[in-house]
């Protein structure tokens, strides 16, 4: 685990007071905004990252979630001012690798933002096993609108399970429990 933490580009190393290797764009108390550390899907993307190394975003506490949501709101406004839509996603499908949890923000043209839910639904349905133990799609946006609000994501998925989640709105989107990590896209 120490080897993973030492080589993590998103970790702040308090013992040596070394900032993350990824450039910090904005720093809150427990979460920061950075540029993507992996190749961007779309120009102008961003990454929301908890300061403390977490295996996935479900491990974050209430304060961290409040800051994550604040960054999401800020990015939504920024992309809207640029005439773009945005989807946020977390790919926590490989928990054994102990990667730093991060939420990726992907700006899209409005025309693609409108069709994004259908695209992700189709992609998720075809990406994993035909027969699974869990529901293929977990509609956290519908649950948010049914009364769970901002807690829909955290009350629908379990932090112990490998998962993928995409947010189309600030309160929810679609989730999927990944049962076969070898078949899941990296």
pLDDT digits (tens, 9 = 90+) for 121-178: 888 887 766 555 666 788 888 888 888 888 888 888 878 888 889 999 988 899 888 8
The separation between the first and the last C-alpha atoms of the chain, rounded to the nearest angstrom, is: 21
- pLDDT of 61 higher than 80: yes
Residue 2 above 80 pLDDT?
no
Distance from chain centroid for Cα 112: 19
What confidence score (pLDDT) does residue 43 get?
Answer: 85
pLDDT digits (tens, 9 = 90+) for 72-111: 999 999 999 999 999 999 988 876 667 888 999 999 999 8
pLDDT score at 100: 85
CA distances from 117 to 28, 58, 128, 172 (A): 30, 22, 18, 11
Cα–Cα distance measured from residue 179 to residue 26, given in angstroms and rounded to the nearest whole number: 35
| Strand blocks (E) in 110-158 | 138-139
Given this model, what pLDDT does residue 96 score? 60
pLDDT for 6 beyond 70: no
Mean pLDDT along residues 46-51: 92
Handedness of CA 89, 86, 70, 9 (dihedral sign): positive
Q: Check whether 19 has a pLDDT greater than 80.
A: no
User: Do residues 101 and 162 make contact, with C-beta atoms less than 8 angstroms apart?
Assistant: no
Query: Would the CA dihedral through 90, 91, 95, 99 be positive or negative?
Result: negative
């Amino acid at each position: 685990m120490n080897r993973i933490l030492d080589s993590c580009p998103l970790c702040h190393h308090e013992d040596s007071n070394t900032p993350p290797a990824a450039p910090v764009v904005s720093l809150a108390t427990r979460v920061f905004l950075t540029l993507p550390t992996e190749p961007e899907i779309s120009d102008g993307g961003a990454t929301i990252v908890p300061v403390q190394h977490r295996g996935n975003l479900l491990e974050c506490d209430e304060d961290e979630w409040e800051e994550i949501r604040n960054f999401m709101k800020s990015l939504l406004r920024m992309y809207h001012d640029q005439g773009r839509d945005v989807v946020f996603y977390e790919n926590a499908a490989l928990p054994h690798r102990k990667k730093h949890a991060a939420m990726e923000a992907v700006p899209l043209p409005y025309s693609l933002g409108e069709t994004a839910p259908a695209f992700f639904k189709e992609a998720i349905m075809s990406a994993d096993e035909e027969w699974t133990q869990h529901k293929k799609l977990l509609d956290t946006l519908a649950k948010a609108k049914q009364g769970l609000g901002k807690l829909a994501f955290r009350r629908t998925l379990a932090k112990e399970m490998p998962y993928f989640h995409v947010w189309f709105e600030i309160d929810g989107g679609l989730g999927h429990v990944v049962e076969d990590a070898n078949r899941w896209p990296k």
